[in-house]
Structure 1
């Protein structure tokens, strides 16, 4: 299942008169939806006024109650990030990081509690193109670049106007230390906590880099390699973060990103090329192993190997002969019409 959230604006009544206008967050959500649509996900899309607290947490709860071990949930968020004064003294920096949904900000602890509803063995990927910055618009390379961060003055005004609301939410929400997450969760966010996620020319800078790396499914690395490749395309003042929490993560991290069937990464395709696979179609993956000289010698086929008898390593003569054989279900054939030259062996398993 996939949940794609994108807000180009928020409700001014909930943000002390500020509408949080952005240009490309909805576009980011739609582009991320194209990826999950192409792979066969069941998708929910929540844009601007539809991205309320009730709708977002309702969608996450629906996914958590539906998915079983081995399943995957992708959650993408594009919008403003914020930092509210910590009202419970459990944050080292005295700030709660937030997502700015349409009708209010949601605390990082609320998101953590929502993730705790997923069962052990479920994979959860969270991609957040947002920031925690007080700067709204910058100039970069002659272009206006807008930051996806709530200005400090707005954060103060929101807390002054709605302090009772956020104190109640904070009091009712367990801290991260008190709630365990059993699912395997990978978070890749658009920047570090003290940086700004920017948007320009149709996308968030982070989402644009992700889409470039993904290359319509041409990327066949794993999650750390995805993060590293994105990082290499980012400006020096915006470094995407990589964070893991929850249950066993090694197998999840080694998979091709967004894979529903848990395909392992690092599939270069035939002869190091790119695997040309239709969306949703399974591909055969090949594992390269290193063998000792003795192991190699033991595996060699010799002229006196009997490939057609009950003992495939017994005597036979294959000069100029096309033959096939079965090694315990691993069927393959050899064409030895040129026994003295090069020939290929196809081993589907």
Structure 2
């Protein structure tokens, strides 16, 4: 019985020591100098800053692990940002507000996540970076990273944006991105206005085509008809009126597609990713029921109900 008690006490002591060691490990890693509190380099003439380490505490182990998994590259990013600023180098790759003091709203957001700043102060950029660790990468960022074959598993919002910034520091990658294939929505624009989709259409070419088409069909009709003879003017005005009407419809269609492309939007309605072809079919069915596209865009649940009616497996189990 005594042996069992001793063994139990040893086990308890071991657990307590392990926890203490783990907490010390967290403290050692998290005790880093933030941008706003780090001393400037001796040879840099800038406003003197407080030399104060940043201490972060977490309410749960999962939050702690997520923070620890990102602190190495994140603190290095902060160091580079501050070094460039101290040396009066270009920091236009950062938002203009990045070095401003963090707001109460940001601190409240961190607290709601389970992260407390127990010593030191953050600036807006640092607070935004930490908050982003606990949010998923955006759909737009995922598209970029998928194109460059960057693994998405476990990628958070802040890390995704950091990866994209590093990718686009390479001029070849910028060129590759500019000449990427046209998006499905861009190709749909061609079909919507009865244009043939060119083979090997690039994103940048499609964008230029769409901008040009819109500019040639927007604005006051008198502007478009100035200096044109009567017969040609009638034909042109009919075409422009038709295109202006279709452009209005297109704006509603584009709004609907972009909403359904948003993962958070789909999650809020408990539906899976929906192909553009299915969205078109649902809108056509609604039109047959005397619901025009403007009304459908204003009440998206009409489209969701129709989609599930047409394809019940789109609803998540």
Q: Please classify the TM superposition score into its range, dividing by the shorter chain length.
A: under 0.3
TM-score, normalised by the number of residues in structure 2? 0.23
**Greater helix proportion:** 2
**Greater strand proportion:** 1
Which gives a bigger RCO, structure 1 or 2 (Cα 8 Å, sep 6+)? 1
Q: Which has the larger radius of gyration?
A: 2
TM-score, normalised by the number of residues in structure 1? 0.21
